[in-house]
Chain A
Amino acid sequence: MFTRHVNRWKLGALGVLAISAVVAGVLASAASPAPNRTAATKLTGAGSTFVFPLVSQWIPAVGSALGIDLTYAGVGSGAGIAQITARTVDFGASDAPMTSDQFSACKGCVQIPWALAATSIPYNLPGLTKQVKLTGPVLAGIYLGQITTWDAPAIKALNPGLALPSTKITPVYRSDNSGTSYNFTDYLSTVSPAWKSKIGVGVNASWPTGVGGKGSSGVSGVIKGTVGAIGYVDIAYALSNKLQVAAIKNKAGIYAQPGLRGIAAAGATVKTVPSNNELHIVDPPASSPKAYPICTFTYIILPTSSSKAPDLRKFVFWALTKGQTYGPKLLFSPIPKVVLAASEKTLKQVQG
Chain B
Amino acid sequence: MAAAPSALTPSRRLRRRKRTEKILAVLASLSALLAVSVLVLVVWAVLRRGAAAFSWDFFTKSQAVFGQSGGGIAPAIVGTIVLIFWATLMAVPLGVLVAIYVSEFSSPRSARLIRMTLDILNGVPAIVIGIFVFGLLVVGHGQSGFYGSIALAIMMIPLISRSTTEVLALVPRSLREASLGLGVARWRTVVSIVLPAAIGGIITGTILAIARIAGETAPLLFTSSIAANSVNWDAGQPLNSLPLTIYTYSESPSPSDHAQAWAAALLLMMFVLILSVTARSLFAWRQRRTGATGG
Q: Which residues of A contact B254 (CB under 8 A)?
A: 217, 240-241
Contact between A11 and B61, CB atoms less than 8 A apart = no
Asked, given contacts A88-B141, A88-B143, whether A83 binds B226 with beta carbons under 8 Å apart, the answer is yes
CB of A31, distance to nearest CB on chain B (Å): 10
Q: Does A32 lie within 8 Å of B139, measured CB to CB?
A: no
State the Cβ distance, A265 to closest chain B Cβ, in Å: 25
Query: Which chain B residue lies CB-closest to A87?
Result: B140
**Distance of A100 Cα from B13 Cα, bound (Å):** 80
Contact A34/B230 with A22-B267, A241-B253 known, Cβ cut-off 8 Å: yes
B252 near A221: Cβ-Cβ < 8 Å: yes
> Which of chain B's residues has its CB closest to A5's CB?
B284
B251 touches A214 (CB 8 A): yes
Chain B nearest Cβ from A56, distance in angstroms: 4
- The yes or no answer to A210 lying at the interface (CB within 8 A) is no
Answer yes or no: B34 CB below 8 A from chain A CBs: no
Are A89's CB and B139's CB within 8 A? no
The answer to whether A86 and B225 touch across the interface, beta carbons within 8 angstroms, is no
B65 A57 Cβ-Cβ under 8 A? yes
When each residue 184-227 of chain A gets 1 if its CB lies under 8 Å from chain B and 0 otherwise, what string results? 00000000000000000000000000000111011011011000
> Which of chain A's residues has its CB closest to B280's CB?
A4
Chain B 116-158, CB within 8 Å of chain A: the 1/0 string?
0000000000000000000000111111000000000000000
Question: Is the CB of A44 closer than 8 A to any CB of chain B?
Answer: yes
Contacts of B280 in A (CB 8 A): 1, 4, 6
Is there contact, CB below 8 Å, between A11 and B281? yes
Chain A contacts of B59 at CB under 8 A?
22, 25-26, 29
Partner among A5, A11, A30, A223 whose Cβ is within 8 Å of the Cβ of B231 = A30
What CA separation (Å) do A195 and B282 show in the bound complex? 64
Q: How far is B278's CA from A35's CA once the two chains are assembled, in angstroms? A: 38
A59 engages B65 (CB within 8 Å) = yes
Question: Contacting B284 at CB < 8 Å: which of A4, A53, A220?
Answer: A4
Instruction: Select from chain A the residue with minimum beta-carbon distance to B72.
Output: A29
B74 at the A interface (CB under 8 A): yes
Find A73's partner among B227, B277, B282, B283 (CB 8 Å cutoff): B227
The residue in chain B whose Cβ has the minimal distance to the Cβ of A122 is B253
